[in-house]
Structure 1
């Protein structure tokens, strides 16, 4: 994966305090990661970079839409996403990104690239089960949905079918009622 320059923040030249960065993400961004789950995407990422004397705090706010396929019907639809994430950047002996929300950079580092974090945060903002809104409210007219309803198991609604049991069990039922 190639590092994109626009996602590199050179923190050495920044003054102490808060700095704001904005990014507009579309499918060309995801092509760098060879991620092809989105048909199209329009996501806004706001990063608040708070530089302190010994550490940095990064606050990510993600909002926008991604066009994805429904897991049930394979119909494309626009999924709204919105999420927030925080990362604390500290300095240490060597690079360590094993913690979820703490990044340790080696001493002497002068910039941080946040493209991997933006990619992961956007992908994590999409629901794991992708269901078209038309499936939920019943307005989607799809051949696949009709076939799924046709093949779904039917629930027994009348009690006559429940009473149709194997006649060999009837004598055992009498034992229960004879007490």
Structure 2
């Protein structure tokens, strides 16, 4: 978790206006999250922070590639990814923890914003529901050897096992045919 400390933005000393930050996201980042869909990647996150008196507006632009596993042939491949997101950060004196997708609530005493969790969510939500290397990869085809295993004919031993039917079931089939 020490690695995630670099994904904090100290906003308390910043002047009002726009400020830009860059963050590199790689395998070490994803290793910090045990159940991450994405296990490896090479991404650059550019964060534009617009500071106002009682509000922060963050624009995320995340570009790069992530490692995915094809659902059809189980081949691992790098897939390009492009994410643009925006979030508002409001400050309050009350003990309020009702964060939403678009609004994050912080205490007025907070002096830095940890964006590691936001980056993690944005990247994992950008992963397609069905991953196919032919669709998400660049010039990649499914592994023909693996596809051949899925479409191969059953062995003759398996066919023999299917042909040997318990005589009790055979008697029931005769009843059904009458």
Name the TM tier (shorter chain): 0.7 to 0.9
- 1:6 to 1:134, Cα distance in 2 relative to 1, 3 A: closer
In the alignment, what sits opposite 1:24?
Answer: 24
- The alpha-carbon deviation at position 102 of structure 1 amounts to 0.3
Residues 102-117 of structure 1: matches in 2 within 5 Å?
Answer: 102-117=103-118
Match of residue 58 from structure 1? 58
In the other structure, the counterpart of 1:140 is 142
TM, length-normalised to structure 2: 0.75
By how many angstroms is 1:3 displaced? Answer: 7.3
1:72 corresponding residue in structure 2? 72
Relative distance call for 1:146 and 1:42 in structure 2 (3 A) is: same
SS in 2 for 1:5: helix
> TM-score normalized by structure 1?
0.74
Residues 94 and 104, structure 1, Cα contact 8 Å, conserved in 2: no
| Matched residue SS, 2:12 | helix
Distance in 2 between residues matched to 1:87 and 1:30, nearest whole Å = 22
Report how far residue 41 of structure 1 moved.
0.8
Cα RMSD, aligned residues only: 2.5
- Give, in angstroms, the shift of residue 5 of structure 1: 2.3
Partner of 2:123: 122
Distance 2:4 2:135 in 1: 38
Where does residue 167 of structure 1 map in the other structure? none
Structure 1 CA distance, aligned partners of 2:17 and 2:4?
Answer: 25
Unpaired runs of 5+ residues, structure 1, are 152-179
User: For 1:54-73, what per-residue CA distance to the aligned partner results, in whole angstroms no more than 9, with x for missing partners?
Assistant: 10000101111112210111
Structure 1 residue 28: Cα displacement: 0.4
Does the 8 Å CA contact 2:37/2:124 hold for their aligned counterparts?
no
Instruction: Provide closer, same or farther for how the CA distance between residues 38 and 148 of structure 1 changes in structure 2, counting only shifts above 3 A.
Output: same
What is the alpha-carbon distance in structure 1 between the residues aligned to residue 61 and residue 118 of structure 2?
12
* 32-41 or 42-51, larger mean C-alpha shift: 32-41
Partner of 2:156: none
